[in-house]
Structure 1
Amino acid sequence: MTTANQGDIVVGVDHSAISAAALRWAVSEAAVSGRQVVALRAWTFEPVYDLGAAVAGTPQAVADRERHQLDEVVGEVRAEHPGVAIRAELVEHSPAVALEEASKTASMLVLGSHGHSRLLKLLVGSVAEHCLHEAGCPVVVIPARTVPEKDATPEPESAVGYYPGPLL
């Protein structure tokens, strides 16, 4: 699992523009607070459900593809904010479980919303919904509506949806 340290800001990073916006928001927060950012990308090898995995053929090929995509987005954001420490972590697990586990030692969990079904999932997405209920730290959700289709960089102040921790 992830090796987030106490005080790290953990960001879920997938292939979407909203996750890149979440990473940018987290880096902006880290620049002010002096924290380190952990860009966490979870992956699984499920060729039955994932066409990319089926085409790649092997778990190592999928891991290599995921690492390349993670390094690419982290590299872009790192170039924009060279003074902020960003560590890229690739974890073989479901995103919801990997992020929940990382939240146990993180100071903050930052996610982009997607929205696919049901009311809460429409607002935040299934992984974010899971983390809102199960995370061990505060969760920040960057709304998808804040990311223009051609620009993945929202203004941090207007992009924050803050939730202070698990529902009791």
Structure 2
Amino acid sequence: MSTAIQGDIVVGVDHSAVSVAALRWAVSEAAVSGRQVVALRAWTFEPVYDLGAAVAGTPQAVADRERRQLEEVVAEVAQPGVTVRAELVEHSAAVALEEASKTASMLVLGSHGRGRLLKLLVGSVAEHCLREAGCPVVVIPARTVPEPEREAEPAATYYPGPLL
């Protein structure tokens, strides 16, 4: 699973603009706090559901595509003095992020805002992480992602982690 070490800020990075906004927020937080960032992308080989996997043809081709895209996003948000590690995990996003949260100081997610009730507000992976994460969770709402021509910082919703 994840190689996040104690104190890392772990960010779920998928193929969305809001996940890039979440990574930008985490990099800014790391610049202030002195922590490192792990940009985590989970993937699975499911050609029946994923046109990209069907076209790629093999699990290795899908993994290579996912790694390349993740590394491009990491390079796009890089800041001097902040270490960002790109990490690719073959698993569901919810499980990979929950596992990484066990050693992270913070989990940062972008919310797609699809679904019902809490899922409507934060998305199903974010909902799972809000319920199961072992560290504080920050959710960057999709509605705060700026238009491409604007460069505004997204707002964040802070969740302090599991209530004991």
Aligned pair partner of 1:88 in 83, 86, 89 = 86
Preserved contact between residue 113 and residue 141 of structure 2 (Cα < 8 Å): no
Change (3 A) 1:151 1:7: farther
C-alpha distance in 1 between matches for 2:50 and 2:145: 26
C-alpha distance in 2 between matches for 1:139 and 1:152: 26
Aligned pair partner of 1:162 in 152, 158, 164 = 158
Change (3 A) 1:51 1:39: same
Kindly report the root-mean-square deviation, in angstroms, between the aligned alpha carbons of the 2 structures: 1.3
Amino acid at match of 1:53: A
Please, which runs of 5 or more residues in structure 2 have no aligned partner?
A: none
Amino acid at match of 2:6: Q
- Displacement of 1:148: 2.4
* Amino-acid identity (%): 87
Amino acid at match of 2:77: V
- Displacement of 1:167: 4.6
State the partner residue of 1:75.
75
Q: TM-score, normalised by structure 1?
A: 0.94
SS of alignment partner, residue 105 of structure 1: coil
Preserved contact between residue 132 and residue 163 of structure 1 (Cα < 8 Å): yes
C-alpha distance in 1 between matches for 2:80 and 2:61: 30
Moved over 4 A (4+): none
Change (3 A) 1:91 1:56: same
Preserved contact between residue 18 and residue 144 of structure 1 (Cα < 8 Å): yes
Please, which runs of 5 or more residues in structure 1 have no aligned partner?
A: none
Q: How many residues align?
A: 164
SS of alignment partner, residue 89 of structure 1: strand
Q: TM-score, normalised by structure 2?
A: 0.96
